[in-house]
Amino acid sequence: MPQAFLFASLSTSPDIWHRRLGHPSSRVLSFLASNKKVTCTSRPLNFQCPACSLGKSSRLSLGPTGHKTSAPLEHVFSDVWGLAPILSSDGFCYFVIFVDKHIKFIWFYPLSAKSDVFNVFHQFQVLVERQFSCKIKSVQIDWGDEYHKLNSFFKTVGIHNRIICPHTHKQNGTVERRHRHIVETGLTLLGHCKAPLKF
């Protein structure tokens, strides 16, 4: 918005511009400075923001595993989130997501109970196998109770069941990060509209 740059000609430190503009990255600030949208007294890359370091910090993910995919549904991550402290307006208190490693697409299903995962997976399987005209080859999960029933089903249909090691949630970082994004977005919308979160 043009109003944000009303005083762009006023020369000030990169740190002050960083705070005024809502803590953008150094790259964004450098872009604004190089395009004469803001005037900085020094190079934008020469400052550190303690608030960003604390507010944007999170646990690092594991390094590359070397496992690569060449097509959709070769490897799917799944995990259940919940119990939510507040029911949604439709009475859901959990959700399960499925993330395809190759295309990074997320399928989201609200749940009334964790035991619904078995039926929801069948819905997911029918949908994606029809859309992509190929079969799910492997699914990576933790060993939660909600997935025990699926294990025998996977053996029946030939889906490779990859289970993460106990107490190593970092191995399931792909879905854990998606969970965090979904929950934070939902809380932001909830705080904005002051209405029950609807899945």
Tens of pLDDT, residue by residue over 66-95, are 568 889 999 999 999 989 888 888 889 999
The CATH class, in words, for 76-193 is alpha beta
53 — pLDDT class (breaks 50, 70, 90): low
What's the start-to-end Cα distance of the chain, in Å?
32
Q: Cis peptide leading into 83, omega within 30 of 0?
A: yes
The structure tokens 């399928």 sit at 107
pLDDT digits (tens, 9 = 90+) for 9-31: 566 777 787 777 777 877 888 88
Q: In this predicted structure, what is the pLDDT of residue 61? A: 52
128 — pLDDT class (breaks 50, 70, 90): very high
Q: What share of the chain is helix, strand, coil (3-state, %, to 5)?
A: 45, 15, 40
The pTM of this model reads 0.62
Distance CA 181, CA 189 (A): 12
Sorted by where each begins, the domain ranges of the chain are 2-48, 76-193
